Amino acid sequence: MLHFLLYLLMAIGPRACEKEWSGVWFPQSPENKNKSLTDSETSRSNDTNQTLVNHKRIPMGVENEKCDDAHKNLGIDFDPYDIRHSTVYMCLDNRRDYRGDYNMEPLITVYDIPDAYVALHKCMNTSIQYAERIPTFGTHRPLWPRYGEYKYVPPQRWVHNSEHGAVIALYHPCANKHQIEELKLIVKSCLYRHIITPSDLPSKDRPFAIVAWGALLEFSVLQRDVVENFIRTYALKGPEQISRDGQYDHLLLAPAQVVSTIDDDVLCPKHRKRD
CB of 47 to ligand NAG, least distance (A): 5
Residue in the shown chain whose Cβ atom is closest to ligand NAG: 66
Q: Quick one: CA torsion of 32, 12, 102, 237, rounded to 10 degrees?
A: -20
Which is closer to ligand NAG, CB of 31 or CB of 265?
Answer: 31
In the complex, the smallest distance separating the C-beta of residue 271 from ligand NAG, rounded to whole angstroms, is 46
CA dihedral in degrees (117, 64, 154, 140; nearest 10)? -10
- Complex with ligand NAG: residue 140 or 172, whichever CB lies closer: 140
Count other Cβ atoms within 10 Å, centred on residue 59. Answer: 12
Name the residue nearer to ligand NAG (CB basis): 67 or 227.
Answer: 67
The residue (of 33 and 178) whose beta carbon lies closer to ligand NAG is 33
| Rounded least distance, CB 126 to ligand NAG, Å | 5
Q: What does the binding site for ligand NAG look like in residue numbers (CB under 6 A)?
A: 44, 46-47, 49-51, 53, 66-67, 123, 125-126
* E strands, the chain, in order: 7-8, 42-46, 52-56, 107-110, 148-150, 167-171, 194-198, 208-212, 215-219, 252-255
CB proximity list for 185: less than 8 A, separation 6 or greater:
none
**H, E, C per residue of 30-89:** HHHCCCCCCCCCEEEEECCCCCEEEEECCCCCCCECCCECCCCCHHHCCCCCCHHHHHHC
Residues across the chain: 275
Q: What angle do CA 180, 135, 4 make, to 5 degrees?
A: 50
Residue 140's Cβ-side half-sphere holds a number of Cα atoms within 13 Å equal to: 27
What's the min distance (Å) between Cβ of 64 and ligand NAG?
A: 7
The distance of closest approach from Cβ of residue 52 to ligand NAG in the complex, given in angstroms and rounded to an integer, is 6
Rounded CA-CA distance 116/96 in Å is 45
Between residues 54 and 103, which has the closer beta carbon with respect to ligand NAG? 54
Tell me how far, at minimum, the Cβ of 181 lies from ligand NAG, in Å: 40
Identity of the residue, 90 or 123, whose beta carbon is nearer to ligand NAG in the bound complex: 123
Least distance in angstroms from the C-beta of 142 to ligand NAG = 10
C-beta of 49 vs 103, nearer to ligand NAG = 49
